[in-house]
Amino acid sequence: MMFSAPALLLLSGLLAVPALPHPHALPGGVPLQEASTAQEVEPGPLHDLGQALLIDAKRVIVRPGEELADAQVLVDGGRIVAVGTGLVAPEGARRLSGQVLMAGLIDPWSAVGLDGNSISDRTASAAARAVDALDPYAYDNLRQDALEAGVTSVRVGIGRDGRIGGLSAFVRNDPNFDLTRSVLRSDAAISTAIGAQPNSDAFTRLDEVDRLIAELEKGKRQVESQADYEKKLAEWNKAIAEKVAELEKEFKKAKRDREKEVEEAKKAKKEHKDKAYKEDKKPKAPRYDADAVELARLYTGELPLIVEIERAPEIRALLEKTKAYPRLRLVLAGATDARFFQEELAERRIPVIVLPQRRDLGGVVAHDELALAADLHEAGVTVLFGSGGRDAQATRDLPLFAALAVGRGLDREAALAALTTVPARLLDLGHRLGSVERGKDADLVLLSGDPLSTTTRVQAVLLAGELAFEAP
């Protein structure tokens, strides 16, 4: 929906943020030529360009369901510094114009940048990090292909075939990939898979659920033993402090008594022995276990747990057994049979990363998984799209997945949200990515038409305010 009056509302809303008053965000767009925008905004995590960029678009998708017609977006220092209509470029600013501007697309289930062994690793444990498996010197072409399709960032996970996978990385699809600059999060989630082996039988799969639960239990124990240790340590510290206070209070008397005792001992020609204080031993910290520390973060809901799971029996088992962990942030991926559990998924706010493509991975309704996104959304389940985490090239096709899902009945707005705001929030980067709003990272895509149309071409892509791709 296009509207122009809310443009002002939006701007005034932005102006209400006291920390970042910005001259370019004034309604009417009167520019203050002398203002250097770069100093007003916290520098972005990547490069400080020192040169602003004004993007002019016929349609700005601020966030799904909220759009501006004939609007401008001002980018500086790697961030969006103003969004509105009638903005004028500051002096020296570069210009870019096109039809549709939106936030860069996010693939929350990708394989870009990882080698096959790391993806499927049987022995990876919770503390293993995907970021340590990324090769910054390889796969540039895959990052480039994804970028040219408008996919600006991805979550990549490792250790699919282990009892629990390692820490996922959330990275930018930067063709000039850099391990410090391009990594937005080295602990975006922990991901694993149930029944990912092509010929796994039902008992093996249920066993895999139990193993996963055992890992969660490990996390729970870690939390409990840590809490127990901290409690005991506090008690011990308190006891020591009390004793010290008591001793200090009676210090003079104790000193006199001692001197007297020493004198008497001397007279009696005996050796003087100081009184020994018997206190409890200091409690010992639980043995450091890197895996348990990460599993504890799962248990407390600090990290989301993304489980690739397809068939009804194991989904049922997983949902049943995770009820004992109320703070767990469970996310299902694939979930071909999720329809059977859609009420529960909606009620427990468990999102599903859908892969709207024929895969024949099993599941009762595997033949109709293309309509899964629409059905789940209808039932109130939060839906995302992912490229499946196996084939790195498939990340490039993320926008086409969304279009296919719309063809099978998914609401367009929900499809766009599933590509932008929802994955950003899920991976705890909602404050930086997913929408075209002031203060967010300038990871933006300029398109020749509607994002879900097959004839639309990507005209330009910005990564942290830097032009990473421009169509010839």
Report the distance separating Cα 231 and Cα 314, nearest Å. 38
How far is 260 from 257, CA to CA, in rounded Å? 5
CA pair distance 27, 9, nearest whole angstrom: 9
Identify the helix (H) or strand (E) that includes residue 99: strand 94-103
Q: Identify residues 306-345 at the interface with other proteins (CB under 8 A).
A: 339
Q: Which is nearer to other proteins, 44 or 356 (CB)?
A: 356
* Stretch of residues binding other proteins (CB under 8 A), selected from 91-99, 116-124, 249-257, 365-373: 365-373
Burial 15-26, CB ≥16 within 10 A → b, else e = beeeeeebbbbb
CA dihedral 282, 283, 285, 286 (to 10 degrees): 150
Judged by CB under 8 A, the chain residues 76 through 105 that form the site for other proteins are: none
Q: Please, what is the minimum distance in Å from the beta carbon of residue 404 to other proteins?
A: 5
In this chain, which of 348, 357, 361, 430 binds other proteins, going by CB under 8 A? 357
- 300-304's contacts with Cβ under 8 Å and 24+ in sequence apart are 300/223, 300/327, 301/327, 301/328, 301/329, 303/167, 303/187, 303/188, 303/189, 303/190, 303/329, 304/188, 304/189, 304/190, 304/329, 304/330, 304/331, 304/426, 304/427, 304/428
Tell me how far, at minimum, the Cβ of 390 lies from other proteins, in Å. 8
**Site track for other proteins across 188-227, x = CB under 8 A:** ----------------------------------------
Residue 82 or 458: which CB sits closer to other proteins? 458
Q: Which is nearer to other proteins, 57 or 373 (CB)?
A: 373
Say how far apart CA 119 and CA 112 lie, in whole Å: 10
Q: Are strands 304-309 and 105-110 parallel, antiparallel or unpaired?
A: unpaired
Q: How far is the CB of 392 from other proteins (least distance, A)?
A: 8
Indicate the DSSP class of residue 19: T
CB closer to other proteins out of 56 and 368: 368
Pick between residue 77 and residue 389 the one whose CB is nearest to other proteins: 389
Give the one residue of 94, 249, 260, 457 binding other proteins; rule: CB under 8 A.
457
Of the pair 110, 421, the CB lying nearest other proteins is at 110
State how beta strands 151-156 and 169-172 pair. Answer: antiparallel
Please, what is the minimum distance in Å from the beta carbon of residue 451 to other proteins? 11
Which lies closer to other proteins via its Cβ, residue 107 or residue 208?
Answer: 107
Between residues 102 and 298, which has the closer beta carbon with respect to other proteins?
A: 102
Instruction: For the CB of residue 353, give the shortest distance to other proteins in the complex, in Å.
Output: 15
Q: How many residues bind other proteins (CB under 8 A)?
A: 39
User: Contact letters (x/-) for other proteins, 368-407, by CB under 8 A?
Assistant: x-xx--xx-xx--------xx--xxxx-xx--xx-xx-xx
The nearest distance, CB 24 to other proteins, in angstroms, is 35
Nearer residue to other proteins within complex by CB, 74 or 415: 415
What's the rounded Cα separation, in Å, for the pair 447 and 151? 12
Give the tokens for residue 392. 């790195």
How many CA atoms lie within 13 Å of 46's alpha carbon, on the beta-carbon side?
Answer: 25
Stretch in the footprint of other proteins (CB under 8 A) among 27-35, 317-325, 432-440, 455-463: 455-463
CB of 28 to other proteins, least distance (A): 37
Min dist CB 236 to other proteins, Å, is 58
Q: Is 412 in the site for other proteins (CB under 8 A)?
A: yes
Smaller CB distance to other proteins: residue 100 or 410? 410
Other CB atoms within a 10 A radius of the CB of residue 79 amount to: 25
- Distance between CA atoms of residues 142 and 110, nearest Å: 11
Task: Please report how close the Cβ of residue 403 comes to other proteins at its closest, in angstroms.
Answer: 4
CA distance linking residue 356 with residue 334, whole number of Å: 9
Considering only the stretches 192-200, 306-314, 328-336, 450-458, report the one whose residues sit in contact with other proteins under the rule CB under 8 A: 450-458
Instruction: Report the 10 Å Cβ neighbour count for 264.
Output: 11
Element (H, E) at 100: strand 94-103
Q: Tell me how far, at minimum, the Cβ of 106 lies from other proteins, in Å.
A: 17
**What are the phi and psi torsion angles at 95 (to 5°)?**
-125, 150
**Cβ at position 371, least distance to other proteins in Å:** 5
Residues from 110 through 169 that contact other proteins (CB under 8 A): 141, 145, 149
The residues of the shown chain that bind other proteins, judged by CB under 8 A, are 141, 145, 149, 339, 357-358, 365, 367-368, 370-371, 374-375, 377-378, 387-388, 391-394, 396-397, 400-401, 403-404, 406-410, 412, 452-457
